Structure formats: structure tokens, C-alpha cells
Amino acid sequence: SQTIHQWPATLVQPVGSPLSLECTVEGTSNPNLYWYRQAAGRGLQLLFYSVGIGQISSEVPQNLSASRPQDRQFILSSKKLLLSDSGFYLCAWSRAALGSYTFGSGTRLTVV
């Protein structure tokens, strides 16, 4: 069966520090991968998506970047965090054309 892992679960970082969040998927190959951000108690905003290694598309301009160094690994990064980067970050995967999305358990990022 397929599983998706995100870590860390919570993170407190000072303004101006770098960020690296990692997401890995097991039990499938060539998944579509996604990063979402969620403001407190609200809907999810799509940040990045990827159809393959090294292929990244950005939905909104921001202080963040994403990379996909391996087929089942998706990384969200920042060189210098801003207060506005605080939020709940969710990774998801889907199988092309099936319309089924599975989400990780998220990372709660607080920038102080």
C-alpha cells in the first residue's frame, strides 16, 4: 500500500533562518507531488506541483521554493524565512488521471 511521510511535524524557526521540509512517498512510482499551505482553520492553497524529477511548477510567487531530487521525494525550502511563512504545510501525492489525492499529516511551521 502507498504511504506518504512528512517531517518534521512541528517546527519553530526565527525570521531570516533557512527552511527545509521533506516529503516522501512509498509504494508507488512516478507520482504527482504537491505542496500546500493552510492558514489557521481555512482552506488549502496550492504552492507547488511536480510531475517528475526536477520538474517543478509554482502556483504563486513567494519566498519559498521546491525541489524533487528523487522520484518519490519532494522538498520545500526557503533561504530566509519571513513571519508570513508561518502556517500548516501539507504534502500530497496523486496518480495521474485517477483524481485521487492523498495528503501527509503536515508540518506546523511557526516563524518567530
Binding site for another protein (CB under 8 A): 32, 34, 41-46, 49, 51, 59, 90, 92, 94, 96-97, 99-106, 108
Closest CA relative to residue 54, chosen from 65, 38, 39: 65
Nearer to another protein, 41 or 61 (CB): 41
74-97 per-residue burial string, b: 16 or more CB within 10 A, e: under 16: bbbebeebeeebbbbbbbbbbeee
Local structure of residue 2 (DSSP, 8 states): -
Grid cell 533561504 — which residue? Answer: 79
CB of 43 to another protein, least distance (A): 4
Nearer to another protein, 15 or 64 (CB): 64
Q: How far is the CB of 79 from another protein (least distance, A)?
A: 26
- Residue placing its CB nearer to another protein in the complex, 50 or 78: 50
Q: Is 40 in a helix, a strand, or coil?
A: coil
Minimum gap (Å) between residue 94 Cβ and another protein: 5
Give me 29's grid cell: 512510482
**Shorter beta-carbon distance to another protein: residue 11 or 16:** 11
